[in-house]
Each structure stands twice: as structure tokens, then as C-alpha cells.
Amino acid sequence: MVFRTVAAERAAVAEVLPALRLDLVASPGQIDVPRVRRVSRQAGMVLGAQGLMRLTVLLREAVFGLGDLEPLLAPGVSDINVNPDGSVWVDDGEGLRRTDIRLSAVAARELAVRLATSAGRRLDDELPYVDAHLPARLALPAGARLHATLPPLSEAPTISLRLPSGTAFTLRDLERAGTLSALSTGLCRAIIASGVSFLISGGTGSGKTTLLTALLGLVPARERLVLIEDARELQPDHPHVVSLQARHANAEGSGEIGLEVLVRQALRMRPDRIVVGECRGREVRELLQALNTGHDGGAATVHANSCGDVPARLEALGALSGLDRAALAAQAAAALRLVLHMRRDGSGRRYLAEAAVLRRDTDGYLAVSSALTPEGVGPAWGELRGLLGKHGALLPAALAPAGRGEE
């Protein structure tokens, strides 16, 4: 059997697509000829080689394609949002702006369901929301993230796509872009050279991953990096990298492998530096334990509104893994020494807003003290320089503020 008309092709896709989506949810993977042959036969369709190849192509487009949104997939685009009114917004580096594209409620729902299916996740009336990382297929870059809702959670379908940058920026690139100053660039180089463990905090889209990627590119080539992520976003320019990626539960709720498991596995892989792309759950306990067992130079990112909010954020994450405030403070203060906070202003510019020292206060709880902001040095600047110097990485005198350089 071959398809002689476009109408016949559409009819075949409509007949096989529901069964294919169920098959992908039960067994995520590629849409290849063997899978399409099996599913089409279950639907009572017998195809020749030519028809089977054509149906496979059509089903790939139906499941993985972005349809009307594909023209928006351009370099520099980080977010694509579909609102309940059908308007489509895009962030291409200068904040969200409205496009001329509009999706009907039916088209938005179909697209959201297609994308969820491509990730092996459900999205239907019984489960009207999804948060998933999308596979690198067709036009989508590796590490793309989907969030979608259906009524009654929203008045009409919504889609939020987060697209990782395919470019690994260097510190020099970030300095030219205004993300870093000459002083903060020197500070970042000294942090990596010292082997001090650190956190990068900030809000969504503030540039945490971009800065961390650039910093990892400065790690000496002889050191082995083990990167642990929910979805692969970190792609540093480094010759010795092992990337581990978490696995979500399937439709039956089994098969999940979380970040905390991967941190434990990383310890057995002879790492020089362990990096967690984003700490947002129980894995914070395993990360702190790992960094307290002789693995210097580790790093992670965390969502927080400011450096000052990082202790409370870590305490909340620690509570998920059974750590009380005192235990969390003891672990974190020994494992992590610095916090770099990223911010994004109203114009869309991302910049390093603050560097702070992480330590325990007089009550024994976790606290931070500001060392550097765009306005100048803070009370912990001397402590920061001393910490880096203790680990053999002095800030160049030319970069230190007047009266505070190296003697």
C-alpha cells in the first residue's frame, strides 16, 4: 500500500497517531520504521516499504514538529510562550516581545500534546499539566524544556518553551557583553584557579548556566569534570567532561533516577570536580556530602532572589532531605565558600550583581556577607581575597580597588 493523495496521507496519520502516542509514553524513544510498522499493523494497516517510510516521516513531523512556531527557532532565542488568548511571545535576548503568530486553542492543545508525547509524558484532561525536557529531535535543540497546561488549570492551553543557548561563551565574551566587569572577570578566574567550591544564584533566565559554563571552561584540562543535570544544558569547552542526566518516571510512575542518585554515582567516577547544574531538591544533601569528602572546586546553581536569600533557599532544600538548619549550616559552610549572584534587568541585560562569602553566623546558622557589587567592594572583600589567597589564587593588584590591592 502507498499513499496516492495528500488526503490519504492525512487519514493514515490520523488513524495511527493516537496509538503511536500511547506507545511513546509506554516506551519513549525514536519514531523509527520498526515502531511505525508495529503500531500501524495494530491499527490494521498493511504498508509496503515506500508507504511505511513516508508514514514514518509524517508521524515524526506530527509528533516532534513545532508547526507554526518553527520560524521562531533562531539563534539567540531563549523562550517561546503561547498565552491562553493564542498570542505568541518570544525572548531573543532583549526581553519578551509579541510576535505576529497566533494559535487557536485547538492548535495550541495539539502542539502541547505532541511535545509532551515526544518527551514520553502525558498531557490530557486527567493530567492537564506537564513539565518535561524535550529530546533533541528535528528543529529542537538539546536540553529544551517544556511546560504546558490545559483547561481547567488555564482558560485555554498555554505553552512555555525554554531553549538553551547552543553557544559556549567565554569570560571575555561575557565581559564584552557587559555581564562581567574587569574586576569580576579577574575574580572569576581566581575562583577557578583556587579550587574553591561555589554557588551561582539567580532567577530564571538570569544567566546562571551561561556563567557556569564559561567558568568550567577555565578548569585545567588535566582535571575530570562530572556534570549532573536534570537535562543537559552545560556544555563547557573542556576536553575531559562526563555528563550525567536524570531520568523522569514513566507513565506508570516507575523508572525515575533522580539527581541525588547521580551525585552518589559521580563519586565513583574519579571526579576532580563535581558540578550540579541546578540544586532544587534532595540532591543538595548528597552534593554537600560530596564536597566535604575532598572534592574541591565543585559548583552548582540555585534559584534565589539575592545572595542574602541563598541561606534560606538552601535551608528549604535541606529540609526536603531531612537536614535541620544547624546540620545544613555545618555542611554548607564547610562545602561551599562563595556565592555569585546573577540578575537580569528590565532591558534584558544579564549581569553579575554580587559576589559574597558564605559562612556561619554567631548563632551557628548559615549567612552571607557581600564582597563585591557593581557599585564597589563590600565588607567581606578582604575576607574573599584572603580565602582565594589561602588557596594560592591572588587577585591581580591591577584589578583590586584602590587601597585594597595586593601589597
User: Is the same domain home to 231 and 114?
Assistant: no
User: Is the same domain home to 342 and 205?
Assistant: yes
User: Looking at the predicted structure, is the pLDDT value of residue 404 above 70?
Assistant: no
Per the rule left: phi > 0, alpha: psi between -120 and 50, beta: everything else, 178 is: left
245 burial level (CB within 10 Å; 0-12, 13-18, 19+) = middle
DSSP strand pairing (225-229 vs 273-276) = parallel
User: Looking at the predicted structure, is the pLDDT value of residue 86 above 50?
Assistant: yes
For residue 364, how far is the Cα from the chain centroid? 32
> 3-class secondary structure for 116-143?
HHHCCCCCCCCCCEEEEECCCCCCCCCC
Q: What is the mean pLDDT of residues 305-319?
A: 93
User: Looking at the predicted structure, is the pLDDT value of residue 15 above 70?
Assistant: yes
> 3-class secondary structure for 76-130?
CCCEEEECCCCEEEEECCCCEEEEEEECCHHHHHHHHHHHHHHCCCCCCCCCCEE
How many other β-carbons are positioned within 10 Å of the β-carbon of residue 18?
A: 11
- Which residues are CB-contacts of 156 (< 8 A; sequence separation ≥ 6)? 84, 85, 86, 105, 108
How many other β-carbons are positioned within 10 Å of the β-carbon of residue 336?
A: 25
* Buried/exposed code over 272-299 (b: 16+ C-beta within 10 A; e: otherwise): bbbbbbbbbebbbbbbbebbbeebebbb
Q: How far apart are CA 261 and CA 313, in angstroms?
A: 21
* Dihedral, CA of residue 345, residue 179, residue 278 and residue 237, to nearest 10: 150
**Residue 356 grid coordinates:** 559574597
User: Is the same domain home to 81 and 47?
Assistant: no
User: Is the same domain home to 24 and 91?
Assistant: no
DSSP strand pairing (350-360 vs 338-344) = antiparallel
Q: How far apart are CA 136 and CA 99, in angstroms?
A: 25
- pLDDT at residue 315, rounded to an integer: 93
Place of cell 594560592: 392
Q: What are the tens digits of pLDDT across the range 138-174?
A: 566 767 889 999 999 999 999 999 887 766 789 999 9
User: Is the same domain home to 107 and 222?
Assistant: no
| 318 and 339 Cβ atoms separated by less than 8 Å | no
Q: What is the mean pLDDT of residues 368-374?
A: 93
User: Looking at the predicted structure, is the pLDDT value of residue 394 above 60?
Assistant: yes
Residue 152, CB-side half-sphere exposure with 13 Å CA sphere = 1
Question: Which of 140, 179, 136 lies closest to 161, judged by CA?
Answer: 140
For residue 266, how far is the Cα from the chain centroid? 19
- pLDDT at residue 397, rounded to an integer: 57
Residue 142 lies in a domain: yes
Q: Which residue has the higher pLDDT, 87 or 145?
A: 87
User: Looking at the predicted structure, is the pLDDT value of residue 286 above 50?
Assistant: yes
User: Is the same domain home to 12 and 113?
Assistant: no
Give the range of the structural domain holding residue 141, as residue numbers without chain letter: 68-162
DSSP strand pairing (79-82 vs 87-91) = antiparallel
Q: What is the mean pLDDT of residues 265-273?
A: 92
Q: How far apart are CA 128 and CA 175, in angstroms?
A: 43
Lowest mean pLDDT among 25-29, 135-139, 148-152: 135-139
- Torsion angles phi and psi, residue 30, rounded to 5: -75, 150
User: Looking at the predicted structure, is the pLDDT value of residue 402 above 80?
Assistant: no
Confidence band (pLDDT; 50, 70, 90) for 199? very high
User: Looking at the predicted structure, is the pLDDT value of residue 62 above 80?
Assistant: no
- How many folded domains does the chain comprise? 3
User: Is the same domain home to 349 and 389?
Assistant: yes
- pLDDT at residue 403, rounded to an integer: 41
User: Looking at the predicted structure, is the pLDDT value of residue 406 above 50?
Assistant: no
Q: What is the mean pLDDT of residues 116-135?
A: 85
Residue 407 lies in a domain: no
User: Is the same domain home to 211 and 346?
Assistant: yes
| 144 and 133 Cβ atoms separated by less than 8 Å | yes
User: Looking at the predicted structure, is the pLDDT value of residue 407 above 50?
Assistant: no
Show which of 134, 162, 190 is a domain's final residue: 162
User: Is the same domain home to 185 and 235?
Assistant: yes
The angle formed by the CA atoms of residues 257, 116 and 320, to the nearest 5 degrees, is 35
Residue 406 lies in a domain: no
| 215 and 227 Cβ atoms separated by less than 8 Å | no
- pLDDT at residue 390, rounded to an integer: 80
Confidence band (pLDDT; 50, 70, 90) for 265? very high
User: Is the same domain home to 43 and 76?
Assistant: no
CATH number at residue 264: 3.40.50.300
User: Is the same domain home to 212 and 241?
Assistant: yes
Q: E strand or H helix at 366, and its extent? A: strand 366-373
CATH number at residue 156: 3.30.450.370
133 burial level (CB within 10 Å; 0-12, 13-18, 19+) = buried
Confidence band (pLDDT; 50, 70, 90) for 398? very low
DSSP strand pairing (338-344 vs 273-276) = unpaired
- pLDDT at residue 405, rounded to an integer: 39
Alpha-carbon distances of 44 from 26, 47, 300, 308, rounded to whole Å: 20, 10, 51, 63
| 368 and 230 Cβ atoms separated by less than 8 Å | no
Show which of 162, 186, 202 is a domain's final residue: 162
| 307 and 370 Cβ atoms separated by less than 8 Å | yes
User: Is the same domain home to 20 and 145?
Assistant: no
- pLDDT at residue 63, rounded to an integer: 75
Confidence band (pLDDT; 50, 70, 90) for 136? low
Please provide the distance, in angstroms rounded to a whole number, between the alpha carbons at the two ends of the chain: 83
Confidence band (pLDDT; 50, 70, 90) for 200? very high
